[in-house]
Chains A and B, each alone.
Chain A
Amino acid sequence: MCRKRGFSAISSVTRAVKSNSLREYIVWLPMLKSDNRDAAVEASAEFEDSRIRYMWDEDKIIGEKFSQTLKLDRTAWDVYLLYNKGSVWKKDEPTVPDFWMHQLGGLEDIAPTLDSVVLRWKVEEAIASK
């Protein structure tokens, strides 16, 4: 459910945004019993774009780092994090994204729920900004 909707939304945003000024990282985490590296390979094969890098985070390192950054009470997953040009992480943890969305319950007051139309608009806005 999560991957299908979230991945489908991200794929549609990527198809719609043709700009070469975009780079994407899709980080797979083992959150469900059925999750493993083979499943990540299979999922990655469903949509290929030269601007996307797929990653497998066996130990949920990225999920835990973003949990701290976003001040969540759980591993960060089903989250979509947008950074403008020029953003760098100087310390050993990521900075707060310029914009982010999620599909997690109970976070509606913190950040908007995933909407591919809004996310596309935000991505294009970031690309257009100098």
Chain B
Amino acid sequence: MVFHNKFCLLLLIMVILSSCSIGQKNSSAKQSAEQLIRFVETGDTTLLAGLFTDSVLNLMTVEAMLDTRQDFVHSFGKLQSVDAPEFPTDSTANIVLRYEEMSLLTSLEFDSIGKIRFLSIQPEPVKLTGSESDIKLTDISDFREFREAFSADSQYVRLISILSPT
């Protein structure tokens, strides 16, 4: 399966530079993330090679990245949206790619000058447990709120479960 092979290859792109000191989050890392998103959205490879370290490019060429982009569309449907990148640390970023049939979590690590030295792509994880503070619980005070939420999602299949919490 094409996707499986590409997926494994992406997971193999793990270059650990143990002696490298990571600089502070800088505009270069942010620009790299934004240019990678541009590539995902448009397929524009003009600046792609410059986003990655040589170690990554030795493992996966620009042409292979373009093929992978096309495989994702083929496997998961049209790209619907890309979430704004989150930077959990100064040297890492997470980007969620939302396709019609699957959301993919792209994890990046940057070197000291903002080039991508690590990249992995995997299905957006389903958290089986979470801290209570992470959970958003909406209080329903009238039916109109619920109806509006339901209608706003009209392009989706919707499943409503009404349950006792204990």
Contact = CB atoms under 8 A, between A and B. Distances in A.
Interface of A: 2-3, 6-7, 10, 13-15, 18-32, 34-37, 39-50, 53-59, 61-63, 65-66, 76-89, 92-94, 97, 123, 126-127
B157 to A, nearest CB: 4
A56 B142 contact: no
B147 A79 contact: no
Given A45-B134, A54-B135, A82-B157, A2 B163 contact: yes
A contacts with B: majority SS: mixed
Contacts of B129: 45-48
Interface of B: 80, 98-103, 123-124, 126-132, 134-144, 146-147, 149-151, 153-166
Contacts of A86: 154-155
* Main secondary structure on B side of the interface with A: mixed
A123 B99 contact: no
A21 B165 contact: no
Nearest to B151: A88
A88 B127 CA distance: 30
Contact of A79 (B100, B141, B162): B162
Contact of A18 (B123, B127, B156, B160): B123
Contacts of B100: 19-21
